[in-house]
């Protein structure tokens, strides 16, 4: 593997994580639903004011739980942006759903709420907005359209933890929302995620799905005298070692978010004039949104210029990366009828977007090095 002076991402450790892992091991319970899992659940619940939080083995698995909780059946349709990660829709397709791809807005790159109503029909089972780069989708409009058709909203908030839309935390608008603690995210335990449940009708079944389709949670609470197979399910709960690792970071969330804010603002302040001279777009955050400081991207004027910039930065030992390939044009997307022209904004931005290195331990001197390198790039 090539090593870069400024890689795109670097895993992040804090000392306290090791202390908590040791503690979990010494307490002798490192399988799922242990002490640190419960600590994470109550901290998340308290921080976000939600009905229930459950750690999962990934955001992908939290999304799979959503598909099961909503009882998605073959033939149901799920509306999802084409500009997202595979899991946002694959979780529903696993239950037999048909993806209905919606285009994104050209400013925030989030689901274009103005296109939503026309995609809804009697088969629509869920609407899944994705808060791209941790900037909120237009949740007022999306929620009201969804409510008028009685369709549940599942927020894919993989990137948006601690972001806000009109003063409310992302992940608190939908009946369910999902989060990622993958290595590349603001808070990480390598692979991990969380399901937030805002509508209490889903809580009891979520506990069963989480524990392989058994009522083991009720057994642990002393509500039944033995546990057994009562529903579908899988092993969606992470080891308590991962929860211990993550808990230390969640406790330190104010500091971690401040560090990320500083990195984001340093890019923005130092690149805005250069970008405007070269007609390069920078992320747009509406005034009513507080972003999660997950990502910093550039929107180059053309595909060719993006590719030259990637190569130019590689030459300076800086790794920058593109992002999603439109899902409606992917092999699977095409099997569902996706074709060129269906989501023109997605098709356009996906070939021009470039993500810059962004990780909690990015030093100012490395960031300055990357910024100086960018400023020496004249577009060719």
- Residue of the chain from 9, 33, 60, 82 that contacts ligand PLP (CB under 6 A): 60
Q: Which whole-number Å values give the CA distances from 372 to 93, 105, 231, 321, 376, in the listed order? A: 45, 31, 57, 18, 6
Smallest gap, in angstroms, from Cβ of residue 324 to ligand PLP? 8
Angle (nearest 5°) at CA 200 between 77 and 219: 110
Residue 22, H or E segment: helix 15-27
Smallest distance from ligand PLP to CB 15, Å:
24
Looking at beta carbons only, is 25 or 321 nearer to ligand PLP? 321
Q: Is 156 in the site for ligand PLP (CB under 6 A)?
A: yes
Q: Does 85 bind ligand PLP (CB under 6 A)?
A: yes
Q: Per-residue contact track with ligand PLP, 301 to 340, x per CB under 6 A?
A: ----------------------------------------
Q: State CA 307 to chain mean position distance.
A: 25
Task: Check residue 189 for interaction with ligand PLP (CB under 6 A).
Answer: no
Contact status: 158 vs ligand PLP (CB under 6 A)? yes
159 binds ligand PLP, rule: CB under 6 A: yes
Reading the block at residue 247, the tokens are 């808990």
End-to-end CA distance of the chain: 27
Contacts of 55 by beta carbon, 8 Å cutoff, 6+ apart:
37, 40, 41, 192, 193, 194, 237, 238, 242, 243, 246
| CA distances, 330 to each of 60, 278, 352 (Å) | 18, 31, 17
Q: Quick one: 133 or 146, whose CB is closer to ligand PLP?
A: 133
User: Apex CA 195: angle with CA 190 and CA 201, to 5°?
Assistant: 165
Q: Using CA atoms, how far apart are residues 101 and 83, in angstroms rounded to an integer?
A: 9
Of 76 and 156, which has the nearer Cβ to ligand PLP? 156
Binding test (CB under 6 A) with ligand PLP, winner from 17, 88, 186, 292 = 88
CB within 8 A of 368, min separation 6: which ones? 270
Please state the closest distance from residue 12 (CB atom) to ligand PLP, in A. Answer: 15
292 near ligand PLP, rule: CB under 6 A: no
The tokens describing 198, both together, are 């805002």
180: contact with ligand PLP by CB under 6 A: yes
In the stretch 192-211, what mask flags binding to ligand PLP with x, by CB under 6 A?
A: -x------------------
In the window 210-229, what residues touch ligand PLP (CB under 6 A)? none
> Could you give the CA distance from residue 90 to residue 25 in angstroms, rounded to a whole number?
35
Work out whether 64 is an interface residue with ligand PLP (CB under 6 A): no
* Residues near ligand PLP, by CB under 6 A: 58-60, 84-85, 87-88, 130, 156, 158-159, 180, 182, 193
């Amino acid at each position: 593997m090539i090593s870069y002076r400024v890689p795109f991402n670097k895993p992040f450790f804090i000392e306290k994580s090791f202390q908590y892992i040791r503690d979990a091991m010494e307490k002798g319970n490192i399988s799922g639903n242990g002490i640190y899992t419960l600590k994470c659940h109550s901290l998340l619940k308290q921080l976000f004011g939600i009905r229930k939080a459950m750690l999962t083995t990934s955001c992908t698995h939290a999304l799979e739980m959503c598909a099961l909780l909503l009882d998605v059946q073959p033939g149901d349709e799920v509306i999802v942006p084409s500009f997202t990660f595979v899991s946002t829709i694959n979780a529903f397709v696993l239950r037999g759903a048909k993806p209905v791809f919606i285009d994104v807005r050209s400013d925030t790159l989030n689901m274009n709420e103005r296109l939503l109503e026309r995609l809804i029909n009697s088969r629509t089972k869920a609407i899944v907005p994705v808060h791209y780069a941790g900037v909120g989708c237009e949740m007022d409009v999306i929620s009201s359209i969804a409510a008028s058709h009685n369709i549940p909203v599942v927020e894919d908030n993989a990137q948006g933890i601690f972001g806000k839309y009109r003063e409310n935390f992302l992940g608190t608008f939908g009946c369910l929302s999902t989060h990622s603690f993958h290595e590349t995210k603001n808070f990480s335990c390598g692979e991990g995620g969380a399901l937030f449940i805002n509508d209490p009708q889903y809580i009891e079944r979520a506990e069963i799905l989480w524990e392989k389709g058994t009522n083991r949670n009720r057994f642990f609470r002393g509500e039944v005298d033995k546990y057994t197979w009562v529903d579908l399910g899988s092993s969606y709960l992470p080891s308590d070692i991962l929860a211990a690792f993550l808990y230390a970071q969640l406790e330190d969330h104010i500091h971690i978010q401040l560090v990320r804010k500083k990195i984001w603002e340093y890019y923005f302040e130092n690149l805005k004039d250069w970008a405007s001279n070269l007609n390069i777009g920078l992320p747009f955050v509406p005034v009513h949104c507080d972003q999660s400081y997950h990502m910093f991207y550039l929107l180059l004027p053309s595909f060719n210029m993006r590719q030259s910039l990637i190569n130019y930065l590689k030459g300076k030992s800086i790794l920058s990366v593109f992002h999603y390939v439109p899902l409606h044009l992917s092999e699977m997307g095409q099997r569902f009828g996706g074709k060129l022209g269906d989501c023109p904004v997605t098709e356009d931005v996906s070939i021009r977007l470039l993500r810059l290195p962004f990780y909690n331990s990015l030093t100012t001197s490395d960031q300055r090095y990357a910024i100086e390198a960018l400023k020496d790039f004249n577009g060719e």
